[in-house]
């Protein structure tokens, strides 16, 4: 059975969606692993995450939002690639602020961090869990509340995120 959820203050934090993302969600940008996108022009960001994590952030007053998609929590070789959450999350915050958001008004939604390997499911700190814990810790350090999340478990998720409203539609795969 496929689970579809809409995460938005407009609809309540966790309201079942009916038939997928609204057709009126317009132009879309697909986020590959290791990418982020911030937009003041309304658009829909889409991605699919398994053990990866997508962090979606929005400032409703500035009507600016963005999201990232990262694969690993840290880079042990001290590079700055966006595929690492320790790089991608602060960069997403910086890009939002550059486009008019105020850090004090940002709200976050976090998705992904599944344990995709059957053999790792008994471990509490599998890769997906590490990705989720990093997002939660960094957002707390930045003072950005997490207003919705759908994390961990054993299924991938498809996400559609509106940059102007902060609305998210999620489908477990």
Q: Catalytic residues, which ones?
A: 52
The three-state secondary structure class of 72 is strand
Determine which helix (DSSP H) or strand (DSSP E) holds 132, and give its type and residue range.
Answer: helix 127-141
Chain position carrying tokens 């939604």: 109
Query: What token pair was written down for 42?
Result: 């309304």
- What is the Cα–Cα distance from 28 to 49, expressed in whole angstroms? 17
Residue 153: strand, helix, or coil: coil
Q: What DSSP string describes 105-120?
A: G-EEEEEE-----GGG
- CA separation, residue 64 to residues 14, 68, 72, 79 (Å): 22, 14, 26, 28
Rounded Cα distance between 51 and 66, Å, is 20
């Amino acid at each position: 059975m496929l689970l579809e959820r809409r995460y938005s203050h407009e609809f309540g934090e966790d309201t079942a969606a009916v038939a997928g993302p609204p057709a009126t969600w317009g132009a879309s940008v697909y986020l590959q692993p290791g990418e982020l996108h911030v937009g003041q022009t309304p658009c829909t960001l889409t991605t699919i995450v398994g053990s990866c994590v997508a962090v979606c952030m929005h400032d409703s007053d500035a009507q600016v939002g963005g999201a990232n998609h990262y694969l690993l929590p840290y880079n042990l070789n001290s590079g700055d690639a966006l595929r690492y959450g320790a790089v991608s999350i602060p960069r997403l915050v910086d890009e939002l602020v550059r486009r008019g958001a105020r850090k004090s008004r940002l709200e976050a939604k976090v998705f992904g961090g599944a344990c995709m390997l059957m053999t790792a499911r008994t471990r509490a700190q599998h890769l997906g869990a590490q990705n989720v814990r990093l997002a939660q810790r960094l957002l707390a350090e930045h003072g950005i509340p997490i207003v919705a999340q759908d994390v961990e478990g054993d299924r991938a998720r498809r996400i559609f995120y509106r940059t102007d409203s902060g609305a998210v539609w999620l489908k477990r795969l």
